[in-house]
Amino acid sequence: MNKYILELREGIPALVKETEIACNGNLTSPDKIVEMINNILHLERMAEEYVYVIGFNSQMRPIAIFEVSHGVVNACWMSQREIMIRLLLCGAVGFVTVHNHPGGTALPSSLDENAWEKIRKAGELIGIKNQDNLIVFNGGYYSDKENRR
């Protein structure tokens, strides 16, 4: 899997590989995704909120990871437009959003839930399935998918 940034090339957004990340196998469960994110990005230890999106192929193998936002201690913007641009450019058919809560709060805020709904709907419109939305905090994680049951 590759970590990409988005650059303008002659005014057109283009993916630029930032780093290559070793990722063996499919990430089929929230705990495996969180383990990978924490091992690579140390998201559970960050003092400010970050939002990442992981793009997957049809076999749930991760193909790309993007930092889509960097906020402050208790807030971060999740833009469906910015997420969908990246997913379309890498050819993803599914995705998971991951962000951290530096304060250690496990539950999503109403802002988190509203953003997730907008992102889910945007993905449905263009045929990219939202597999899950995760919150990482020091000591654990929250999975939207596991808690929607």
CB atoms under 10 Å from CB of 55, counted, come to: 25
CATH number at residue 30: 3.40.140.10
* Phi, psi (rounded to 5 degrees) for 71: -115, -140
Q: What is the DSSP string of 53-121?
A: EEEE-TTS-EEEEEEEEE-BTTB----HHHHHHHHHHHT-SEEEEEEE-TT---SPPHHHHHHHHHHHH
Kindly report the pTM of this predicted structure.
Answer: 0.89
Of the pLDDT bands very low, low, confident and very high (cuts 50, 70, 90), residue 126 is: very high
First-last CA distance in the chain: 30
Strand order in the sheet with 140-143: 12-20, 2-9, 62-70, 50-56, 94-100, 129-137, 140-143
pLDDT one-digit tens code per residue, 32-83: 999 988 988 999 999 999 999 999 999 889 999 999 988 766 667 778 999 9
Ramachandran region, residue 84 (left: φ > 0; alpha: ψ -120 to 50; beta: rest): alpha
Residue 73 belongs to some domain of the structure = yes
pLDDT of residue 17: 85
Total number of domains in the chain:
1
The yes-or-no verdict on residue 23 having pLDDT over 90 is no
Residue 19 belongs to some domain of the structure = no
Please choose, from the candidates 46, 96, 44, the residue with its C-alpha nearest in 3D space to the C-alpha of residue 68. 96
Residue numbers of the domain that contains 66: 24-147
Residue 142 belongs to some domain of the structure = yes
* Amino acid occupying residue 31: D
138 in Cβ contact with 44 (< 8 Å): yes
Residue 18 belongs to some domain of the structure = no
The yes-or-no verdict on residue 136 having pLDDT over 70 is yes
Residue 13 belongs to some domain of the structure = no
1 versus 69: the higher-pLDDT residue is: 69
43 in Cβ contact with 136 (< 8 Å): yes
